[in-house]
Chains A and B, each alone.
Chain A
Amino acid sequence: MSECCVSVKDLSMSYGRGDALKGVSFQLEAGTLVALTGANGSGKSTLLKILAGLIQTYRGEASILGQRDTWLTKSEVCFHPSYPWFKPGQRVSDAVKMYAVLRPGYRVAEADELFSRFGFDMGAQLGTLSKGRLALALFILSMGVNARVYLLDEPFGGIDIKTRDEMREVLLRQADERRLFLIATHELSDMERLFDRFILLDHGRIALDGQSDDLREQYGCSIAELMRRKL
């Protein structure tokens, strides 16, 4: 039995007008890659932000590596937001330096190597990159972080299929038995093979949660197809 990395119990969260999460419970084990899927507004980002310690006004329980206050676990967590956090004039090399300062154990050499493999000019300003290239740059920055729990919000958005193939390989290289990857994503078809488990959110509730191959066996279809049927 693997170590439990992330646990949420009866987790709920409202933003004034409506409920973003309604009684969500699950436990995630170290050494797994888990996809969090669901339509826009289904609560994926809210869930990741709670786990990242960025939202503290939730009800229910959330813990990371056994620690209940998720804002205390930030050093063990790599949160990858779906929105840009940098100043447009910042250069790729500045961003790497910033991560190296902010994140103890940041793997500068690995980040540099990935930037060079994907053909980035380290002097390029982040604000001048295309949407896809920017998403890829942010992904590479996150892959340099040395953490136990990776919470990635839509890392494949706007990225072409060939680059996604390479990102899959980069992620698998990072994965080890101590780490957990929880990845919110819409891009299923070509990324399905990357995940051990799928959790589908629908209007803030869990609509489906299962091991990938068990779901394929049980429903006789791809996960992408299953998600279409369930929503």
Chain B
Amino acid sequence: MALSFQPDKPIYLQIAAHMKREIIAGSYQPGDRLPSIRDMAMIYEVTPNTIQRALQLLEQEGILRTERTNGKFITADDALLRRLRGDVLRERAAAMTRELLAYGFSSEEILSALSDELKGADSQ
């Protein structure tokens, strides 16, 4: 079953974000070679052009590099991958915080709910 996308957001951005999560979660290892664009199009069930656009974005950010004859690889640059981890954590935390603040929850309520959630996750 293919990944489902939010219909109101550009798909190439959602693929780029998904790949970043896969890299952080370790599904892709530093230095790994990516599948071909055609294969990735089948995996994500989108057109090869959409994949191309997502990969271009990741390449601009330094997360991917192209070897002319061998295809595309995840960077092995540790500093960059650490930065990516930090960026994604901040980005997700910011989005969640914005949403909860918009509901009118206080900082204390949000922090205590988060800490409860984390305790729950740890005990599993």
Which residues does A use to contact B, with CB under 8 Å? 31-33, 165, 168-169, 172-173, 175-177, 189, 192-196, 212-214, 216-217, 220-225
Contacts and interface: CB of A to CB of B under 8 A. Distances in A.
Contacts of B2: 165
A177 B49 CA distance: 10
A31 B51 CA distance: 13
Contacts of A195: 47
13 contacts: A32-B49, A168-B45, A169-B42, A169-B45, A172-B45, A172-B47, A175-B47, A177-B48, A192-B7, A193-B45, A193-B46, A193-B50, A224-B7
B8 to A, nearest CB: 5
The 10 A-B pairs with the shortest beta carbon distances in the complex, nearest first, are A222-B7, A213-B10, A221-B8, A216-B10, A196-B49, A222-B8, A217-B10, A193-B46, A196-B47, A213-B12
B32 to A, nearest CB: 23
A193 B12 CA distance: 10
A11 B31 CA distance: 51
A213 B47 CA distance: 12
B9 A216 contact: yes
B4 to A, nearest CB: 9
Given A172-B47, A216-B9, A224-B7, 14 more contacts: A31-B48, A32-B49, A172-B46, A177-B48, A193-B11, A193-B50, A213-B10, A213-B12, A213-B13, A220-B8, A221-B8, A223-B7, A225-B7, A225-B8
A4 B45 CA distance: 25
A230 to B, nearest CB: 15
Given A172-B47, A173-B42, A175-B47, A213 B53 contact: yes
B5 interface: yes
B34 interface: no
Interface string B23-54: 00000000000000010011001111110010
A32 B47 contact: yes
Nearest to B5: A193
A20 to B, nearest CB: 29
B46 to A, nearest CB: 5
B50 A196 contact: yes
Given A172-B41, A173-B42, A31 B49 contact: yes
A172 B13 CA distance: 20
Nearest to B3: A193
Contacts of B7: 189, 192, 216, 221-225
Given A173-B42, A193-B5, A213-B53, A33 B47 contact: yes
Nearest to B9: A216
Contacts of B9: 216
Nearest to A2: B49
Nearest to A32: B49
A169 B42 CA distance: 7
Contact of B48 (A175, A214, A217, A225): A175
A172 B8 contact: no
Nearest to B12: A213
A231 to B, nearest CB: 18
A224 B7 CA distance: 9
A167 B110 CA distance: 45
A223 B48 CA distance: 19
Contacts of B50: 193, 196, 212-213
